[in-house]
């Protein structure tokens, strides 16, 4: 029998030996906020309900307008069989690094929906250790898989809302606009005001302002 060729850009990990038998439903997992200089990295897991009407318009959250993301967010949380969102804050990101913080968020999100889903499908090319089930990592998965797209929307909307709240606490940085990314306006505000408690000091642009002597000529 001819074997099906593997999907391009997919990595897989089998379930642990002691994993209990569960359903064949898939949890899509995605993150928002790996690159910004401030705020949390947010990870969502979504298990779509095959018995409920299809949610139209699911796509990579970056390809959607804010209004469209907000509308889909409400549909996803209402219709999904299970969903969970995890936010890893700046202190934890600085303590364990952004990659490990993202992997931690993915692991916690999957554990929260593992009572429903028996398989994880993750956007990107890395699979966290310690998952309670088998998993695949799909490059550009948020544009290729509906459950990952749903997770990307929950993660993006949740993080954007968190950054609006941070803007209320620290308005001089303009978090409501750039969401913590290293735009020229954000970098200028960093130089003028120094970092706030929500800035990631393990990121070099923030560290350069917080500890300028590290970059001074010898």
Nearest by Cα to 161 from 146, 180, 140: 180
Can you list the residues of the chain whose pLDDT is less than 50?
Answer: 1-8, 10-13, 15, 19-21, 213-218
Which CATH homologous superfamily contains domain 10-162?
Answer: Ribonuclease H-like superfamily/Ribonuclease H (3.30.420.10)
Claim: this prediction has a pTM higher than 0.85: yes
Residue-range domain boundaries for the chain: 10-162
For helices 66-79 and 146-169, give the axis angle rounded to 10 degrees: 120
Q: What is the pLDDT of residues 87-130, one digit of tens each?
A: 999 999 999 999 999 999 999 999 999 999 999 999 999 999 99
Alpha-carbon Rg for the chain, nearest whole angstrom, is 19
Q: What is the Cα–Cα distance from 129 to 145, expressed in whole angstroms? A: 22
């Amino acid at each position: 029998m001819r074997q099906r060729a593997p999907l391009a850009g997919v990595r897989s990990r089998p379930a642990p030996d002691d994993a209990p038998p569960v359903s064949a439903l898939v949890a899509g997992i995605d993150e928002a906020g790996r690159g910004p200089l401030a705020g949390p990295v947010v990870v969502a897991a979504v298990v779509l309900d095959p018995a409920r009407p299809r949610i139209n318009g699911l796509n990579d959250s970056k390809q959607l307008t804010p209004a469209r993301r907000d509308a889909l967010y409400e549909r996803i949380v209402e219709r999904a069989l299970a969903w969970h969102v995890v936010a890893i804050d700046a202190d934890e990101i600085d303590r364990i690094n952004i990659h490990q913080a993202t992997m931690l968020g993915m692991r916690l999100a999957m554990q929260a929906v593992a009572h429903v889903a028996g398989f994880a499908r993750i956007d990107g090319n890395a699979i966290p250790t310690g998952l309670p089930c088998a998993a695949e990592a799909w490059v550009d998965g948020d544009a290729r898989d509906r459950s990952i797209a749903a997770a990307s929307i929950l993660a993006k909307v949740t993080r954007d809302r968190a950054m609006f709240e941070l803007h209320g606490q620290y308005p001089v940085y303009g978090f409501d606009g750039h969401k913590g990314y290293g735009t020229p306006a954000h970098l200028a505000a960093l130089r003028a005001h120094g970092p706030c408690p929500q800035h990631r000091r393990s990121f070099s642009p923030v560290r350069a302002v917080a500890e300028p002597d590290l970059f001074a000529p010898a």
